[in-house]
Amino acid sequence: MKSDSFWSDPNSAFMEIDPDSTILIGDFGLGSDAPIALDYRKDKNTPAVIRLLWAKDGNHWVEIAPNFAAFAKHLNRIQ
């Protein structure tokens, strides 16, 4: 995955995550450039859900759910 052009872009804040332990699963829509990913660094069986947060002081990866089940539960509440 490190050869993917996304990871070579400084805006991807790749230094904050391990690209080999991260799987991109979506984003917040066309033009958002805000990917959503599964982060397997802490738990190989139950990954956290993270997103790239764009900020003036630099982009950062932030956790949006401790696991995919919590993420899906949240999505069901907003529909």
Range of the domain at 54: 5-78
pLDDT at 33: 77
d(CA 50, CA 25): 10
Helices marked H in 1-79 — which ranges?
Answer: 5-8, 68-78
Give me the phi and psi of 30, to 5 degrees please. Answer: -55, 125
Confidence of residue 78 (pLDDT cuts 50, 70, 90): low
How many domains does the chain divide into? Answer: 1
Query: If you search the block for the tokens 């529909």, which residue do you land on?
Result: 79
Task: Please check the confidence at residue 67 and state whether its pLDDT lies above 70.
Answer: yes
pTM: 0.83
pLDDT tens digit string along 6-64?
Answer: 767 888 898 899 989 999 999 888 877 789 999 999 999 999 999 999 999 899 999 99
Q: Extract the tokens encoding 19.
A: 């690209």
DSSP summary character for residue 41: S
Query: If you search the block for the tokens 């995955």, which residue do you land on?
Result: 1
